[in-house]
Amino acid sequence: MTTENTEKRSSAFAYAPAPESRSVVDIAPSYGLFIDGEFVEAADGRVFKTVSPSTEEVLSEIAQAGEADVDRAVKAARKAFGKWSALPGSERAKYLFRIARIIQERSRELAVLETLDNGKPIKETRDADLPLVAAHFFYYAGWADKLDHAGFGANPRPLGVAGQVIPWNFPLLMLAWKIAPALATGNTVVLKPAETTPLSALFFADICRQAGLPKGVVNILPGYGSAGAALVEHPDVNKVAFTGSTAVGKAIARQVAGTRKKVTLELGGKGANIVFDDAPIDQAVEGIVSGIFFNQGQVCCAGSRLLVQESIQDELLDSLKRRLSTLRLGDPLDKNTDIGAINSAEQLSRITSLVEQGEAEGAERWSPACELPSAGYWFAPTLFTNVTQAHTIARDEIFGPVLSVLSFRTPDEAVAKANNSQYGLSAGIWTEKGSRILAVANKLRAGVIWSNTFNKFDPTSPFGGYKESGFGREGGRHGLEAYLDV
């Protein structure tokens, strides 16, 4: 996969410290569905395997929810809703605070588990995912007794049973984004984790038991192939929350049309990271790297299009290539690993085929010299130059460690190119001029805009998109509205 202008990796593999031990966490050989406070087999007894994407080792066998199980879980959630929604907010808050504290106490186990099941580097699960997960539960615990003061009028009411479908790129964090606001507002939950990453959600089910959460308030249904649709279509589900691909988001919007179910969709993106000629180059390079290589680029708000002002393009690309040559790809449990595994064979083949299309359409591909492990699913950090707006790699979400570089001359051209996308989720602006940050940000059609940084998250900030990136907001005070009849 290397190209002519590939640079030699210098000392990237010289030092290999002991990896974080997988013995930190006990993984059972099999797990049931979590319904009404108990782990149970699927009604039809079906199971599927979850594998570690960095080794292809089978981690565990998971019960596979079908339609009957969805019905069972929705009934349990409906039954629990009466008492749960009638609790004073201060009581619901106590459970959420307890869950948040247990997550902190067990964060080492959870970080290792997430890294094993997802393939992302331990330094990301440890320093980003887990702290953000706990923070999300703490933040919404704080809202539970203040809903009358959230600006939605007096006495806002919960909707009922929330059916939630989450993706594999941030399994536990997306669970937190969905479950914390739902419970704070008095709803009960049936959540379907992605089929490639069910383990941290099942571990979370155990945390719910440890926290003494009443039975049926949270139900977790791993599934594969039909559980998602059965949940969304269940007539006793009042609220649907989905994060994932735009194609499935559109299907869900069609499924719930005319049902009065409240829906939030958080879908794909093709974020533009815009670097002006007065930007601090070294800082911008770090932001570009974290923007597209964090979590192997499997991030809906990734800065997957670099828009660089023409006058600094050569200098910036030289710095960027030097920096990419220092990234360490390999064992995700190694604390020094920067680039982990791609989540699944399917995702790897999607990335590979889009990258091949990029080359076939005439863009120039470059990667640092990089040895890929023989087992598992891996893709080297890749950047494309000579990219035009018409190229597929400039338009489609690749959801992998692949950066498409385009240039611009004027701020207006930068804005026009950034907005030239079916998506509108994220953008970044790099410049020393505060006035330019405000002027450009006001013209960008993106739900989240960072300036002089990228991929920073906070539970107090609403997150969500424009256009085909979906609708509704998660996080912050806005995130409460999705779960309330206001």
Q: Binding segment for ligand TAP among 163-171, 177-185, 306-314, 352-360 (CB under 6 A)? A: 163-171
Contact 309, 407 (CB under 8 A): yes
238 or 243: CB nearest ligand TAP: 243
Helix (H) or strand (E) holding 61: strand 58-63
Rounded Cα distance, 385 and 363, in Å: 6
Q: Is 165 in the site for ligand TAP (CB under 6 A)?
A: yes
In the set 114, 266, 468, 481, the catalytic residue is: 266
For ligand TAP, what does the binding mask look like between residues 389 and 418, x meaning CB under 6 A? --------x-x-------------------
Q: Does the protein bind ligand TAP through residue 225 (CB under 6 A)? A: yes
- By rule CB under 6 A, what count of residues binds ligand TAP? 30
Out of 156, 158, 167, 287, name the contact with ligand TAP by CB under 6 A.
Answer: 167
Q: Name the catalytic one among 20, 195, 300, 481.
A: 300
- Whichever of 124 and 331 has its CB closer to ligand TAP, that residue is 124
* Contact status: 440 vs ligand TAP (CB under 6 A): no
Q: Which is nearer to ligand TAP, 407 or 455 (CB)?
A: 455
Q: Least distance from C-beta 389 to ligand TAP, angstroms?
A: 20
Q: Does 33 bind ligand TAP (CB under 6 A)?
A: no
Q: How far is the CB of 298 from ligand TAP (least distance, A)?
A: 7
> Which of 138, 203, 110 has the alpha carbon at shortest distance from 458?
138
Out of 60, 115, 164, 169, which residue is the one contacting ligand TAP (CB under 6 A)? 169
Active site residue 301: no
Q: Is 198 in the site for ligand TAP (CB under 6 A)?
A: no
Stretch that binds ligand TAP, among 85-93, 136-144, 225-233, 322-330 (CB under 6 A): 225-233
The 280-319 site mask, x for binding ligand TAP (CB under 6 A), equals: --------------------x-------------------
CA-CA distance, 450 to 432, in Å (whole number)? Answer: 13
- Amino acid type, 245: S
**CB of 387 vs ligand TAP, minimal distance in Å:** 19
Is 33 within 8 Å of 42 (Cβ atoms)? yes
- Could you say which of 40, 150, 251, 354 contacts ligand TAP (CB under 6 A)? 251
Cβ distance to ligand TAP smaller for residue 189 or 229: 229
386: enclosing H helix or E strand: none
Using CA atoms, how far residue 146 sits from 140, 143, 218, 246, in Å, is: 10, 5, 22, 34
Stretch that binds ligand TAP, among 14-22, 204-212, 245-253, 450-458 (CB under 6 A): 245-253
Report if residue 162 touches ligand TAP, rule: CB under 6 A: no
Q: Which is nearer to ligand TAP, 100 or 194 (CB)?
A: 194
We find the least distance from the C-beta atom of residue 64 to ligand TAP, in angstroms, to be 9
Q: What phi-psi label fits residue 386: left (phi over 0), alpha (psi between -120 and 50 degrees) or beta?
A: left
What does the DSSP assignment read for 320-338?
HHHHHTT--BS-TTSTT-S
Taking the least distance from each CB to ligand TAP, the nearer of 266 and 338 is 266
Beta-bridge partners for 424: 466
Helical segments of 404-463, H only:
411-419, 434-443
Say whether residue 51 binds ligand TAP (CB under 6 A). no
Query: By CB under 6 A, is residue 450 in contact with ligand TAP?
Result: no
226: contact with ligand TAP by CB under 6 A = yes
CB nearer to ligand TAP: pick between 222 and 411:
222
Q: Write out the two tokens for 71.
A: 């019905």
CA dist 363 and 74 (Å) reads: 49
- Whether 370 is catalytic is no
Q: Indicate which single residue of 119, 158, 268, 475 sits in contact with ligand TAP (rule: CB under 6 A).
A: 268
Q: Least Å distance between CB 232 and ligand TAP?
A: 4
**Helix (H, G, I), strand (E, B), or coil: what is residue 152?**
coil
**CB-nearer residue toward ligand TAP: 243 or 431:** 243
Write the Ramachandran bin of 151: left for phi over 0, alpha for psi from -120 to 50, otherwise beta: left
> What is each CA distance from 345 to 129, 281, 342, 398, 403, in whole angstroms?
23, 36, 8, 14, 20
Output the CA angle 323-116-351, nearest 5 degrees.
55
The beta strands (E) that lie in 103-259 are given as 157-158, 161-165, 188-192, 218-220, 239-243
Measured in whole angstroms, the distance separating CA 142 from the mean position of its chain's CA atoms is 24
Best CA proximity match to 304, nearest among 283, 285, 286, 288: 288
Displacement of CA 66 from its chain's centroid (Å): 25
Strand 38-40 and strand 33-35: the pairing is: antiparallel
- Catalytic center residues: 266, 300
Residues lying near ligand TAP in the complex (CB under 6 A) are found at: 165, 167-169, 192, 194-195, 223-229, 232, 243-245, 248, 251-252, 255, 266-268, 300, 347, 350, 397, 399
